[in-house]
Amino acid sequence: MSLLGFGDRLSSAVHSHGNPVCVGLDPRLAQLPASLRANGLDSFADQALAFERFCCEIIDIVCGMVPIVKPQSAFFEELGPHGLMALAKVCHYAASKGLLVIMDAKRNDIGTTAAAYANAYLGRSNASPFGCDALTVSPYLGTDSLEPFVSRCQSTGSGLFVLVKTSNLGSGFLQDCVADGITVSERVANYVQEQALATSSSQQSYGSIGAVVGATYPEQLAEMRRIMPNAWLLIPGYGAQGGSAKEVVLGMDHEGLGAIVNSSRGIIFAYENPKYAAATSWQHSIELATNDMIEALQAARLG
């Protein structure tokens, strides 16, 4: 059997939807729409159920519009085992609706422990309880710690996004350290490019091993695009964290491929934004905000 790699599946999904928008599923209790609070949120079980409903409704809205969603594991873990149950259901529901699913869990460990994380999250089969298409991972432990993840990607047609340059203010603490003439983030980027090339179906395509690169540092984004010509970039920080459409298109090629752009709060809590005061429901505001983001990216790319 020839297994289609994650890189190619993502290219195809971005191409068919005509946009590279990733909707971040970052539910937060304090911001849930009123209708989802009606049954009370006293226990972790109630809270987890509300998260599940919220995310599944978001999935229903965006599944025809965008190629990919990215659940943030931390907010589900905060609710304990009930939260993780909701997270698994949300992942499976998104996949059933034709979306690609990136688990944002920033995992990292070594050897068989890393392999256990890879099995947990990567690969759409019953063998993986969360069954996602890709996972975010951290490189601090070294490239040998990433190998079990890469190997799992190859055997299951899934993908990785390795943290390279993050969007937070303090990201430079380690990532900008210069050793032997290159920064730590460039060192990681070089590794990602090797793996991306090794997992791509042609020299011109994007492989299954990608990188997280924030949009808050546009000049670094352009440089990262240059260092990793075969890697998908996952760009967080659109909207809420300060990245604009003009900046994130630096990550894309002339066909609009090569980068996916994530927005979480700006879309899922759009009902709180005065801009969408005319929306008929919180669901409607999500649809409007998603459309706005798709159009802003398109305009920036063509402009």
Q: Which of 74, 198, 222, 299 binds its own copies (CB under 8 A)?
A: 74
DSSP for residue 2: P
* CB of 130 or CB of 206, closer to its own copies: 130
Closest to 128 (Cα-Cα) out of 99, 149, 97, 98:
149
Which of 106, 165, 246, 275 is flagged as catalytic? 106
H-type alpha helices, 210-281: 218-227, 245-248, 265-268
- Stretches 6-14, 82-90, 246-254, 288-296: which one binds its own copies (CB under 8 A)? 82-90
What distance in Å separates the CA atoms of residue 189 and residue 171, rounded to the nearest whole number? 15
Rounded Cα distance between 87 and 62, Å, is 18
- CB of 22 closer than 8 Å to CB of 235: no
Q: Does 64 bind its own copies (CB under 8 A)?
A: no
- The Cβ-side half-sphere exposure at 58, using a 13 Å CA radius, reads 33
Q: Binders of its own copies: how many residues, by CB under 8 A?
A: 60
Q: Does residue 246 carry a catalytic annotation?
A: no
Please, what is the minimum distance in Å from the beta carbon of residue 104 to its own copies?
8
- DSSP E strands in 42-99: the ranges are 68-71
> Residue 64: what are its φ and ψ, rounded to 5°?
-90, -10
CB of 42 to its own copies, least distance (A): 12
- Whichever of 36 and 88 has its CB closer to its own copies, that residue is 88
Q: Which residues share a beta bridge with 122?
A: 132
Compute the least distance from the CB of residue 79 to its own copies, in Å.
6
Among 19, 108, 156, 220, binds its own copies (CB under 8 A): 108
Chosen residue from 180, 219, 274, 278 binding its own copies by CB under 8 A: 180
The Cα 42–Cα 60 span in angstroms is 26
Q: Phi, psi at residue 6, to the nearest 5°?
A: -60, -40
Q: Figure out which of the listed residues 175, 200, 216, 220 binds its own copies, where binding follows CB under 8 A.
A: 175
Span near its own copies by CB under 8 A; candidates 2-10, 50-58, 71-79, 286-294 = 71-79
Q: List residues near its own copies by CB under 8 A.
A: 26, 28, 44, 72, 74-75, 77-85, 87-88, 106-114, 116-117, 119-121, 129-130, 138-145, 163, 166-175, 177-180, 184, 187-188, 191
Catalytic residues: 106
